[in-house]
């Protein structure tokens, strides 16, 4: 989850909220950038156990990982009540943060191409590996923690997570699993204008279930197969309907920044941060905070940091801030961490490709999109929409993206363009078999029906 913002500028009108999103418009001549986020599930390799914040009594834990990285890379500490809970690049680049169950996240810097993303990833994993090895810690490349129960999963010492943990069971049956046991890879992308944002939002939401299918990589939970290929995506379907889902209003005439603000204002709040204290206002209305009539904090009025923090607690399949976040993919191996940004750079950062993606998805009804979203966690590439299989749609999507990347013509030192990063997705479509299905085959075969095999075969090399 994102680093909380500190901006005490008071919000004087609802229009200021619209303007805060409009500020993301980069203009037609700007260099459009790519920011990649990826979460990794740590474990002690000698006993296949989760890694607590303070360690297991014999060796350091998540805190030690952060402290070691701070010493190696010199990033600034992010604290929560004196607990080190993240690191921030003092040059204004990326950040390292913790998800509720200790999932270790790099929120990458906004970079000019996927080659730069690859270099960032290589550097991060190299530094993290150097710190993790002496602690006996490795990292799973799965979208769900496969073995430990929710009770066995440690909790990180972040105030906002305690508030969310208390609220989640009131609004859905799987919210705590989402918080503590899932991992994802996301990509953040720019827009040049409001009209460009609308087109990209529509393409992104329509295709996010296809992305979920391509990246399906979480078939296990509680030590056994769940019947889902993306258990992570299945969990999201019953987390909190007020702040998740496919946002059908995005496809309505007149959608833009103002309509998204209206939606966000109606999403219940989690907290209000004042100084170092997170005040629990879960379920309250941001409109009441704007008006100074929030019952839990009488007379307190909203600031721009409150708005930014509130936007970070909304979890639709595509999220709008001053950029767009693609949120449909399971966490996965290193190649998937660069495949996702390559896919959307190809679709979004080439005019012909974006037009083709709009054309491909424009006939899909809201009901059909929602049905697809419901089927994909279980059926992945075999799901379908409007008479076409997801596998066929994914093939077309990848062809559009590859052509877009070819036209972008961003080359690495070997003279290769960004199409090289699509290779793992092209293999999945060619074989008609997701990474989840390959791992289920291993479970039934080489792993002898034990998920313990994942702790050898599903480990991120560093």
| Spatial contact of 201 and 324, defined as CB atoms under 8 Å apart | yes
Average pLDDT of the residues in 369-388: 98
Measured in degrees and rounded to the nearest 5, phi and psi for residue 36 equal: -115, 135
d(CA 7, CA 1): 18
d(CA 51, CA 45): 10
Q: Which of 129, 139, 59, 73 is nearest to 104 (CA)?
A: 139
pLDDT at site 92: 84
Per-residue model confidence as pLDDT tens digits over 248-262: 999 999 999 999 999
Which architecture does CATH list for 14-457? 2-Layer Sandwich (3.30)
d(CA 381, CA 393): 9
Query: Could you tell me if residue 283 is left (phi over 0), alpha (psi between -120 and 50 degrees) or otherwise beta?
Result: left
| Spatial contact of 228 and 377, defined as CB atoms under 8 Å apart | yes
Per-residue model confidence as pLDDT tens digits over 27-39: 999 999 999 999 9
Per-residue model confidence as pLDDT tens digits over 74-108: 999 999 999 999 999 999 889 999 999 999 999 99
CB burial of 122-149 (b: ≥16 within 10 Å; e: otherwise) equals: eebbebbeebbeebbbbbbbbbbbbbbe
Residue 115 has pLDDT above 90, yes or no: yes
Residue 1 has pLDDT above 80, yes or no: no
d(CA 255, CA 222): 42
Measured in degrees and rounded to the nearest 5, phi and psi for residue 62 equal: -60, -40
Band of the pLDDT at 2, cuts 50, 70, 90? very low
CA distances from 173 to 144, 177, 284, 308 (A): 16, 9, 20, 27
d(CA 328, CA 187): 10
User: In the beta sheet, which residues pair with residue 96?
Assistant: 87, 106
Average pLDDT of the residues in 185-201: 98
pLDDT at site 4: 59
pLDDT at site 241: 97
d(CA 73, CA 66): 10
- At how many degrees (to 10) do helices 194-214 and 334-348 cross? 140
User: Which residues, at least 6 apart from 54, have a Cβ–Cβ distance to it below 8 Å?
Assistant: 60, 61, 63
Per-residue model confidence as pLDDT tens digits over 256-306: 999 999 999 999 999 999 999 999 999 999 999 999 999 999 999 999 999
Band of the pLDDT at 5, cuts 50, 70, 90? low
d(CA 394, CA 433): 12
pLDDT at site 6: 67
| Spatial contact of 75 and 89, defined as CB atoms under 8 Å apart | yes
Per-residue model confidence as pLDDT tens digits over 200-243: 999 999 999 999 999 999 999 999 999 999 999 999 999 999 99
Residue 40 has pLDDT above 90, yes or no: yes
Three-state SS string over 149-180 comes to: CCCCCCCCCCHHHHHHHHHHHHHCCCHHHHHH
User: Which residues, at least 6 apart from 430, have a Cβ–Cβ distance to it below 8 Å?
Assistant: none
d(CA 430, CA 201): 28
Per-residue model confidence as pLDDT tens digits over 118-168: 999 999 999 999 999 999 999 999 999 999 999 999 999 999 999 999 999
Q: Are strands 318-320 and 315-316 parallel, antiparallel or unpaired?
A: unpaired
**Domain map (residue ranges) of the chain:** 14-457
Q: Are strands 137-140 and 34-44 parallel, antiparallel or unpaired?
A: antiparallel
Per-residue model confidence as pLDDT tens digits over 403-454: 999 999 999 999 999 999 999 999 999 999 999 999 999 999 999 999 999 9
Q: Are strands 315-316 and 244-245 parallel, antiparallel or unpaired?
A: parallel
């Amino acid at each position: 989850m994102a680093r909380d913002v500190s901006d005490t500028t008071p919000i004087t009108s609802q229009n200021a909220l619209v303007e805060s999103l409009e500020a993301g418009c980069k203009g037609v001549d700007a260099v459009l950038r790519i920011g990649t986020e990826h979460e990794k599930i740590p474990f002690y390799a000698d006993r296949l156990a989760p890694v607590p914040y303070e360690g297991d009594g014999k060796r350091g834990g998540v805190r030690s990982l952060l402290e070691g990285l701070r010493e190696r890379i010199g990033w600034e500490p992010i604290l929560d009540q004196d607990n080190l809970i993240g690191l921030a690049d003092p040059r204004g680049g990326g950040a390292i943060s913790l998800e509720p169950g200790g999932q270790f996240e790099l929120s990458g810097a906004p970079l000019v191409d996927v080659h730069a993303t690859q270099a960032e990833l290589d550097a991060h994993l190299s530094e993290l590996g150097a710190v993790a090895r002496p602690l006996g810690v490795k990292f799973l490349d799965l979208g769900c923690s496969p073995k430990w129960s929710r009770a066995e999963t440690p909790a990180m010492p972040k105030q906002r997570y305690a508030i969310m943990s208390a609220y989640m069971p009131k609004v859905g049956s799987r919210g705590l699993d989402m918080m503590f046991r899932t991992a994802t890879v996301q990509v953040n992308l720019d827009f040049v204008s409001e009209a460009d944002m609308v087109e990209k939002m529509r393409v992104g939401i329509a295709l996010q279930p296809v992305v979920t299918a391509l990246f399906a990589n979480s078939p296990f939970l509680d030590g056994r197969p769940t019947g889902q290929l993306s258990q992570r995506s299945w969990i999201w379907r019953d987390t909190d309907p007020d702040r998740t889902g496919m946002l059908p209003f995005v496809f309505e005439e007149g959608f833009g920044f103002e309509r998204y603000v209206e939606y966000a204002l109606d999403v219940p709040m989690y907290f209000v941060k004042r100084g170092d204290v997170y005040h629990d206002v879960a379920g309250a209305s941001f409109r009441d905070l704007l008006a100074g009539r929030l019952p839990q904090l009488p007379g307190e009025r909203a600031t721009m940091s409150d708005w930014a923090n509130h936007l970070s607690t909304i979890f639709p399949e595509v999220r709008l801030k001053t950029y767009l976040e693609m949120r449909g993919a399971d966490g996965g191996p290193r190649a998937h961490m660069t495949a996702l940004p390559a896919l959307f750079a190809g679709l979004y950062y080439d005019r012909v490709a974006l037009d083709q993606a709009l054309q491909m998805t424009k006939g899909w009804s809201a009901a059909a999109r929602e049905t697809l979203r419901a089927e994909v966690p279980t059926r992945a590439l075999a799901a379908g929409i409007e008479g076409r299989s997801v596998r066929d749609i994914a093939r077309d999507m990848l062809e559009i993206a590859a052509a877009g990347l070819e036209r972008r013509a961003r080359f690495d030192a070997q003279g290769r363009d960004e199409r090289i990063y699509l290779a793992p997705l092209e293999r999945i479509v060619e074989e008609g078999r997701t990474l989840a299905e390959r791992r289920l085959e291993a479970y039934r075969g080489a792993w002898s029906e034990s998920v313990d095999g994942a702790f050898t075969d599903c480990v991120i090399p560093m």
